[in-house]
Structure 1
Amino acid sequence: MTLTGQRRGRKIMMTPGELDEFLTRQRTCRVATVSQDGTPHVSALWFAWDGASLWLYSVVRSRRWAQLRRDPRVAVVVDSGEEYDELRGVELSGRVAFVGEVPRTGELCAELDTPEALFARKYFGLDELPHDGQHAWARLTPEKTVSWDFGKLGSS
């Protein structure tokens, strides 16, 4: 993964390995989209991380999906921590690409093999993702990535 140069906060920036581990383990992200009139919309969503792209599995009859179809620009935040020195997170931004049929019914799509296996194991403890005909995939390969780990401030 290519990390964008992070001028401010370099001291707390995650390494590529830390970022990969963090995105693999976290379960919920917040997805920011923009409505036609410019109003922002943020919603929580489950995701899969394959080491290069964040895969969003969204209900296709949602406001989020409609806004992404109209304007694929997106910002996503994945974060954790309660106390100041526990705060960790990543903001990824760019444009999503839609992969597979909409809604997803399980047609063969080699590009979805990895994200669906990751998602099925992570959220359902299964080897194969059950398709409900209500969700579809959007892939975010970040154009910009910013990360933070405030725990690093105590180690200096």
Structure 2
Amino acid sequence: MTVTQRRGRRIMMTDTERDTYLGEQRTCRVATVSAEGMPHVGALWFVWDGTSLWLYSLTRSRRWAQLRQNPKVAVVVDDGVEYGELRGVELSGEAEVVGEAPRTGEACAELELPERLFASKYFGLDTLPHDGRHAWLRLTPEAVTSWDFRKLAGLS
């Protein structure tokens, strides 16, 4: 993972701050592009394992169709209301499908951790129930940018 941030180093999150932040947040926005070049942005639940962002997406969605044609993706996780509260992380790279699509629960060692994290974070469960409509996308970011405007006022 490459941190591409040149400006704004003063407000950039440390690796630990970024990992904590991504572990706490619940919703991200995923940007994809159609074959015709039309962008699409949609909200999605996710988990972060310290290296990769795991997206659990409907396989019959515009996002899924666009990523199958062009795996390049940008994801933003952010929060804050007032200017001095704004925080966020942007991750970009290529998304890859992991496991069967749609996911029915077949054994897959790569999915053990993200499914456990996802089940706990969103459902309060130890194991993830599979609905046969979603599948996993893994984004191991090629570029990461972060910001925490609270640092400008010494609030973080």
Normalised by the length of structure 2, the TM-score is: 0.97
Which residue is equivalent to 1:91? 90
Deviation at 1:155, TM superposition (A): 2.0
Q: Deviation string for 1:82-130 (max 9, x for gaps)?
A: 0111100000000011100000000000000000000000000000000
Distance 1:113 1:80 in 2: 29
**Which residue identity is paired with 1:70?**
Q
1:6-155 correspondence to structure 2 within 5 Å? 6-155=5-154
SS across alignment from 1:12: coil
Amino acid at match of 2:146: S
Distance of 2:50 and 2:20 partners within structure 1: 9
Q: Which runs of 5+ in 2 are unaligned?
A: none
Q: Is the 8 A contact 1:3 1:16 kept in 2?
A: no
What residue identity is the alignment partner of 1:60?
A: T
* Secondary structure of 1:24's aligned partner: helix
1:48 Cα deviation after fit: 0.8
Q: 1-side partners of 2:35 and 2:2: how far apart?
A: 30
Identity over aligned residues, as a percent?
Answer: 70
Deviates more, 1:2-11 or 1:130-139: 2-11
Q: For residues 88 and 74 of structure 1, what CA distance do their matches in structure 2 show? A: 20
For residues 114 and 43 of structure 1, what CA distance do their matches in structure 2 show?
Answer: 24
Q: How many residues align?
A: 155
Secondary structure of 1:128's aligned partner: coil
Q: CA RMSD in A?
A: 1.0
Q: Judge conservation of contact 1:32–1:41 (CA < 8 Å) in 2.
A: yes
After the TM superposition, which parts of structure 1 deviate over 2 Å for at least 4 consecutive aligned residues?
none
Residues in 2 aligned to 1:129 and 1:4: alpha-carbon distance in whole angstroms: 32
TM-score by length of 1: 0.97
